[in-house]
Amino acid sequence: MPSRPQPLRVAIDTGGTFTDCVWIDASNHLRMLKLFSTPADPSQSIVEALKKIDHKGEFIILHGTTVGTNTLLERKGARTALVTTAGFEDAIEIGRQARPKLYDFFFDRVEPLVPAELRFGIEERTASDGEILTSPSPAQLKALASEVSTNRPESIAISLLFSFANPKNEIAIAAALTPVGIPISISHQILPEFREYERTSTVVINAYLQPVMQRYLENLQSRSRRDVARNVSTGTRPRIFVMQSSGGITSLATAAREPVRTVLSGPAGGVVGAAASARRSGFERIIAFDMGGTSTDVSLVEGVPTTANDAQIAGLPISVPMLDIHTVGAGGGSLARFDAGGVLRVGPESAGADPGPICYGRGTQPTVTDANLLLGRLQPTKFLGGDFTLDLERTHTVTREWLKQQGSPLTLEKFAAGVIRIVNATMEKAIRVVSIERGRDPRDFALVAFGGAGGLHACALAESLSIPRVIVPALPGALSALGILVSDVVKDYSRTVLLSVSGKLPHARLSDEFAALKKQAAKDFQQESWKGSVHYQPSVDLRYRGQGYELSLPFTRNLLADFQNEHERRYGYAHSTREIELVTLRLRAVVKSRVGTGTLARPGRAKLGSPSSLKAPVLFDGKKLETTLYSRDTIKSGTIYRGPAIVTEYSATTVIPPGKRFKLDSARNVLITI
C-alpha cells in the first residue's frame, strides 16, 4: 500500500491587491504563486490558489489575513455592547488628554466603536490590590442580562475597574450574560493589565472583530475542506493556522476567539521574513520596507524583531503585543488626484484589486503602478513573470484623458514623475518615524525592500536618507508569506503587579508570578495539541516611581542595572538612587518552527544562463536613459553589475539608478550599494 504524502505547509498572505502563496516542494525548493485578491470574499482567492498547487495530500495552511485590519479601517465590525463599572461607561470616549493634532481647532476625535446606548454600567468595585469591595447582586445581574439582550448586540465586551488584580466580578458578569448567546470578550482574559482606557479599548476591539473574524475563518475552513479536499485522493482536510501581529503562529480557534491579536497579521510576516533574509546576508540592523498594493509598512529591526504594546490602528489604541510596525497609505494601487487648489496628491485611497490600476485593464484613475509603467520602470511583458501583460496603450490613453478632465497641463512623463516623487516623500517620512524620530541613524542600517512595489522605490528612498545598502530578498513580492512560513508558534501572556523596589529584586514573588504564567502557557499549548519543547522569554516593564511610561527589558538577575543603563541610553540620564517600580510581567512562550530559515536560500532552480542584453528607455530624473533589463534568474552570484538597470522576476521588479552597483550574494539576495 503506498504511503500517504506528507502534509504540505502553505503560507498564504492575503493583501489588498494580491494573494501570495509560498510552499516547499518535494525537491525542497521554495515555490510561489500570486493571484489577484478577492476583497468581497478573501477565502475565494485562497481556495483558488490551493487548487493550483500540485499536491495530492493534506494541506497545512498558515494564513496571514487583513480581515481584522480592514474591518477596523472600514468600521464594519459587529454591533458591540460594553459592560463596565458604573460611572466608567464613557471612559472609551473620553480617552486620553493627548491630542493627535494639538493646534487643529477643527479636529474631530475618533468615534468609539460602542455608541452610548450600548454602554452598560453595573454597581461593582474592586480595589487596586484586588480586594472585592462590592459585588453585583443576582438581581442586578439578571436585570443587566435583560437590558443587554433587549438592545440586540452581536457581541459583548466586559471591562471592569481593576479586574486584572481580581477577575471575580468579571467572571460573574460573564456567566450571567452567557445565556444571551453571543460572543463575549473579557478583559482579564484578553489583557490583564492596568491603564483602564487602553485595556477597555483593546477588549472592545476584540469584541467588535470577533463575529466577523469567526465567520470568515469558519467560512475559509468549510470552503477549503469542501473544495480542496475534493481534489485530493486521500480525502484529508486542510488544517488552518493564523499569523498574529506579534510575529508568531496561533491556532484557528484562538484567532477566532482573540482576533485583536491578528490586526497586523500580514505585515508581521514581512518583518519576520525580512529579518531572516537579511541575517543570511550578514545584516542584523535593518529597516524593513514593505510596499504592497494598498499600503507601505516599515519597521526597524536590531537583531530580532521587537514588539510594542501601545500601538494604534485607525486611531484606536491596542495594547496586546504587536511587532513595531508603522503603516502609511502608500502602495502601488494608491490613487493620484488633484485637490481643490490644483495640487497633486497621491493616496491614501487605493484602487485595490478591483478595479485596480489602469494598466490592469479595468481602472480609470491613475495609480503609482501606472506612473511606474509610464516611466518605463515597469516592463509590460515582464509582470508576474510574463503571466500577466500590463496594458501600456490603455494607460497612455486613459491617463491622458483623465489629465484633460482635471484641466492639468502636465505631460504624461511629468505627471508620472510627480506621482513617484510624492509617494516617495510619504514613504520617506514613514522611515524617518521609525528611525530618526526614535534616535536611530538610518546610515547605520540596511534597507530591506520587499512587497510587489518595494524594489521600484527602494534606491531612491535609500539615497535620500543616506542609507548605504539596499537588500532585495529572494521572492520579494511574497516575503510576508515567506515570513509566515518560517514563523514560530507564539503565545504572549502578561500580568500587572506594580511592585516598588529599591536596590533588590523580590525574586521569590517574581518566580511565583512567572511560574503561574508558564503553567497557563503549558496548558494552552497542550489544549491546542502543539508538539515540541516550549521556550520561555520572560520580561518586565519598569519605570522610576512617578513616571507614566515604562521600558520593557528581559528578566535577568541584573534587571535593575539593565534598566538604569537602558534609561541612560534612551533618554540621556538615569537616577541610581530613585525608587523603581516593576509594573507588568510579560512572558512569551515559543515553539520553534519546523521550517528552518535555511530554506530562504533555495527559491527555486537558478537558470545559470548569461544575463540578458536587452535594453529599454527608462526615465531617471527627467532624462531617458538606455537601461539594461536583467532577469533575476540569470544574474550570476558574486558578479558586480552597474546601473541603470531593471531586475525583473515573477513577484517584483527592482530599479537600480545610474551609478549604483549591485550583485547577487550566496543567500540569493540582491545587494545594492548606494
Range 89-113 average pLDDT: 84
- Does residue 429 contact residue 445 with C-beta atoms inside 8 Å? no
- Residue 629 main-chain phi, psi, to 5 deg: -105, 125
Give pLDDT, residue 213: 94
- Does residue 670 contact residue 663 with C-beta atoms inside 8 Å? yes
Facing residues of 260 across strands?
A: none
CATH number of the domain encompassing residue 516: 3.30.1490
CA dihedral 203, 208, 209, 210 (to 10 degrees): 80
- Does residue 50 contact residue 224 with C-beta atoms inside 8 Å? yes
Residue 102's contacts (CB-CB under 8 Å, 6 or more residues apart) are none
> pLDDT by residue (tens digit) across 55-100?
777 888 999 988 888 888 788 999 999 999 999 999 999 988 877 7
Q: Which residue has the higher pLDDT, 46 or 606?
A: 46
Q: What angle do CA 502, 505, 507 make, to 5 degrees?
A: 155
Helix (H, G, I), strand (E, B) or coil at 507: helix
Range 447-461 average pLDDT: 94
Q: Amino acid identity, residue 357? A: P
| CA 543 to chain CA mean position, Å | 28
- 116 and 150 share a domain? yes
- 89 and 164 share a domain? yes
Range 541-558 average pLDDT: 92
Count Cβ atoms below 10 Å from residue 246 Cβ, excluding itself. Answer: 24
Give me the DSSP letters along 288-320.
Answer: EEEE-SS-EEEEEEESB--EES-EEETTEEE-S
Please indicate, yes or no, if residue 49 is contained in any of the structural domains.
yes
Pairing of strands 132-134, 155-159: unpaired
- 583 and 500 share a domain? yes
Give pLDDT, residue 3: 53
Beta strands in 292-434 (DSSP E): 296-302, 307-308, 311-313, 316-318, 322-323, 326-328, 334-338, 344-350
- 141 and 113 share a domain? yes
- Does residue 402 contact residue 337 with C-beta atoms inside 8 Å? no
Nearest-angstrom CA–CA distance, 297 and 303? 19
Please indicate, yes or no, if residue 470 is contained in any of the structural domains.
no
From the number of C-beta atoms within 10 Å of its C-beta (0-12, 13-18, 19+), residue 331 rates as: buried
- 255 and 160 share a domain? no
Among 582, 670, 601, CA closest to 630: 670
Give pLDDT, residue 231: 56
Give pLDDT, residue 154: 97
Give pLDDT, residue 608: 47
- 122 and 141 share a domain? yes
Range 234-260 average pLDDT: 87
Give me the DSSP letters along 34-73.
Answer: EEE--TT-HHHHHHHHHHHS---S-EEEEEE--HHHHHHH
pTM of the model: 0.87
- Does residue 235 contact residue 264 with C-beta atoms inside 8 Å? no
End-to-end CA distance of the chain: 58
- Does residue 644 contact residue 658 with C-beta atoms inside 8 Å? yes
Q: Which residue has the higher pLDDT, 530 or 358?
A: 358
Q: Is residue 5 over pLDDT 70?
A: no
> pLDDT by residue (tens digit) across 573-626?
999 889 999 999 999 999 988 776 555 555 544 444 455 568 899 999 889 999
User: Cell digits for 39?
Assistant: 476583497
- Residue 670 main-chain phi, psi, to 5 deg: -85, 120
Last residue of a domain, one of 572, 592, 612: 592
Please indicate, yes or no, if residue 231 is contained in any of the structural domains.
yes
Last residue of a domain, one of 592, 614, 636: 592
> 305: cis peptide before it, omega within 30°?
no
pLDDT class of 29 with cuts at 50, 70, 90: confident
- 171 and 118 share a domain? yes
Give pLDDT, residue 600: 53
Residue 644's contacts (CB-CB under 8 Å, 6 or more residues apart) are 618, 620, 625, 626, 627, 628, 656, 657, 658
Nearest-angstrom CA–CA distance, 419 and 425? 10
Domain total of the chain: 4
> pLDDT by residue (tens digit) across 495-529?
999 999 987 899 899 999 999 999 999 999 988 88
Pairing of strands 80-85, 155-159: parallel
- Residue 578 main-chain phi, psi, to 5 deg: -85, 145
Among 291, 375, 272, CA closest to 333: 291
Q: Give me the chain's average pLDDT, please.
A: 89
- 587 and 638 share a domain? no
Nearest-angstrom CA–CA distance, 621 and 120? 60
> 644: cis peptide before it, omega within 30°?
yes
Helix (H, G, I), strand (E, B) or coil at 349: strand
Last residue of a domain, one of 573, 592, 611: 592
Inter-helix orientation angle 412-434/392-406, to 10°: 90
Nearest-angstrom CA–CA distance, 469 and 227? 45
Q: Which domain holds residue 50?
A: 8-71+212-262
Range 125-141 average pLDDT: 95
- Does residue 156 contact residue 119 with C-beta atoms inside 8 Å? no
Give pLDDT, residue 92: 93
Please indicate, yes or no, if residue 465 is contained in any of the structural domains.
no
Please indicate, yes or no, if residue 12 is contained in any of the structural domains.
yes
- Residue 117 main-chain phi, psi, to 5 deg: -70, -10
- Residue 150 main-chain phi, psi, to 5 deg: -60, -35
Please indicate, yes or no, if residue 450 is contained in any of the structural domains.
no
Q: What angle do CA 550, 554, 559 make, to 5 degrees?
A: 75
Question: Of 53-57, 198-202, 535-539, which gets the smallest average pLDDT?
Answer: 53-57
Range 292-314 average pLDDT: 86
Among 653, 649, 657, CA closest to 673: 657
Question: Of 12-16, 484-488, 629-633, 658-662, which gets the smallest average pLDDT?
Answer: 12-16
Please indicate, yes or no, if residue 654 is contained in any of the structural domains.
yes
CATH number of the domain encompassing residue 12: 3.30.420.40
Q: Is residue 414 over pLDDT 70?
A: yes
Among 20, 9, 3, 10, CA closest to 478: 20
Give pLDDT, residue 232: 53
Q: Which residue has the higher pLDDT, 247 or 388?
A: 247
Give me the DSSP letters along 242-253.
Answer: EE-TTS-EEEHH
Give pLDDT, residue 1: 42
- 137 and 85 share a domain? yes
Among 3, 4, 35, CA closest to 17: 35
Please indicate, yes or no, if residue 422 is contained in any of the structural domains.
no
For the chain, the C-alpha Rg in angstroms (whole number) is 26
Long-range contact list for 341-344, CB < 8 A, 24+ apart?
342/408, 344/415, 344/418, 344/419, 344/422
